[in-house]
Amino acid sequence: MIHSTVHENEITVIRPGVERLTAVNAKAFKDDVAGLIDAGAGMLVIDFSQTSFLDSSGLGALAGILKKIGHRGELVVCGLNPDVSQMFKICRMDRVFTIYQDEAAALQALSEKA
């Protein structure tokens, strides 16, 4: 389901691989990302640029991923379209997650922390 790419400084960029992250596929998304964390990925960028819709199940999956990574690493998101961004704001997840405009900005910010 997910598509991931490892960049320099061991930063992993993850794309959900679906246009709509909903109750139908949120658990599979969470499980796939959890597998990457279990395999040692600690610096994660989740790029939502190809995701046009996210519901509360998708946000719940993200919260679960954040809990799993804990203090072992960092998780940021990027590429939010207006609808997805609005969902983050409505649910106040924009206060929980660090959000970057695009993948390049997220990679630069995490590289500076590595």
Tell me, yes or no, whether 67 lies in a domain: yes
Do 106 and 100 form a contact (C-beta atoms < 8 A)? yes
pLDDT of res. 70: 93
Tell me, yes or no, whether 6 lies in a domain: no
Domain count, the chain: 1
11-15/43-47 β-pairing: parallel
Tell me, yes or no, whether 113 lies in a domain: no
Which residue, 108, 24, 112, 36, is CA-closest to 72?
36
pLDDT of res. 114: 73
The pLDDT tens digits of the residues spanning 26-40 come to 999 999 999 999 999
Tell me, yes or no, whether 71 lies in a domain: yes
pLDDT of res. 113: 85
Tell me, yes or no, whether 14 lies in a domain: no
CA–CA dist 78, 92 (Å, integer): 16
Which CATH number do you get for residue 67? Answer: 3.30.750.24
Tell me, yes or no, whether 8 lies in a domain: no
What range does the domain containing 60 cover? Answer: 19-100
User: pLDDT by residue for the chain (114 residues), tens digit each?
Assistant: 799 999 999 999 999 999 999 999 999 999 999 999 999 999 999 999 999 999 999 999 999 999 999 998 999 999 999 999 999 999 999 999 999 999 999 999 999 987
